[in-house]
Amino acid sequence: MKKNFFLVFVTAGALLCSISCSKQDLTEETQLTEGPETTMATASTSSRVFFEGVNGHPMNQAPYTYTSPEAQINLIKSLGMNVYRIDLPVNSKGEVNVPHRLDRLKKAADAAGVTLLPMIATPNLENFKYDEGYYYRKGHALGSKFAKLYGEYFTYYNIGNELDNKCILSSSKAGDKAAHYDIKKFRRIAACLRGMNDGIKIYDKTAKTMINASWMHYRYLSMIEDLGIRFDIVAYHWYDEMEQLAKQSYNIDDFTKFLSSKFEKPIWFTEIGVRDNTGTGSRSVQYQTSFFNSFITKCRNNPQVQAVIIYELFNEPHLSYVQEQHYGIYKWLSLYTSYAPKPFAAERLKSLAQ
């Protein structure tokens, strides 16, 4: 998630695992907790794989391209985290635009026991002017080409990003009902995602794919399930104002449990974050820390949740949208040359050192 789309809506670990990055090891461990028996009532924490990590943009955004891939992985490892979600710019041939940087990142991640989770954007939806078959073929071509080239790099694939926001009818719609979506747009998005999922699994038989949504848009994901699209993991984005308004408007104290009541698939919170307009004062110094600690604890305590991933590693002061400048858990002391942990990261480092 980048910009605070949710403002529009308003106006209308303890169980950290030490895991190998081997695809075989990851697949065998994950199979222990996946499938229809994985529910709040039946899932076992004894065999559970739990990922805790952070988002970043190591391929294409300045705070990251000025920082070596090795340094980024070292920071993640030092925080006791074991997953790094990254957006991968991919061309029409399925090729990552900066392959040498991905190779370095992968080598460092493997050495540190950190799993890379790629977010692969869908092909251009071109204003939804073509039929569903067209979007399926576009998605299939991208997914198959990408997996053919990089299937040995990854076990988990995040296909598309926040496409629920492209088919929601208006800011006044919560997203918890099918009637809240433009069905023509939805079906074309779903066709593209089906194609990506199918294409990836041609070349990577062990692939675990995930599709994400945010706010109360869980109905978007259940509609995708209803179409028979065989994705493996429910991914979700959850930010601090959503946590507050879920309690105020829906009497939901623990959204992880609410989401578990809607799906049988494993759940990954692939973005959690705090909207901060200033970068100063109690909101950034204290509130970010308390929100992260509280929500991460909820995720750990829910056996259906397999991952929680903070948005994001570094502040991004070069971006014009003010909230994006302050999402990081590390701040810049000197622009892109020296950085320091913000309170959440500092407290975590101190705790791990004890």
Q: What is the pTM of this model?
A: 0.88
**What's the pLDDT at 276?**
79
Cis peptide before 70 (omega within 30 of 0): no
Residue 247 is assigned to a structural domain of this protein: yes
Provide the domain count of the chain: 1
Residue 24 domain-assigned? Answer: yes
DSSP 294: H
Give residue 1's pLDDT: 53
Strand partners, 339: 332
Q: How far apart are CA 235 and CA 273, in angstroms?
A: 15
Q: Is residue 294 part of a domain?
A: yes
Query: How far, in Å, are 77, 141, 146, 204, 238 from residue 152 at the CA level?
Result: 22, 18, 11, 8, 30
Give the other-Cβ count within 10 Å of 191's Cβ: 23
Q: How confident is the model at residue 7 (pLDDT cuts 50, 70, 90)?
A: very low
Domain hosting 183: range is 6-34+44-353
* pLDDT of the residue at 281: 53
Residue 254 lies in a domain: yes
Q: Is residue 1 part of a domain?
A: no
Q: Is the pLDDT of residue 127 over 90?
A: yes
Residue 164 falls inside a structural domain: yes
The encoded tokens of residue 315 equal 């502040």
Measured CA to CA, the distance from residue 8 to residue 2 in angstroms comes to 14
| DSSP 8-state class, residue 259 | H
- CATH number for 74: 3.20.20.80
- In-domain check, residue 39: no
Tens of pLDDT, residues 72-112: 999 999 999 999 999 999 999 999 999 999 999 999 999 99
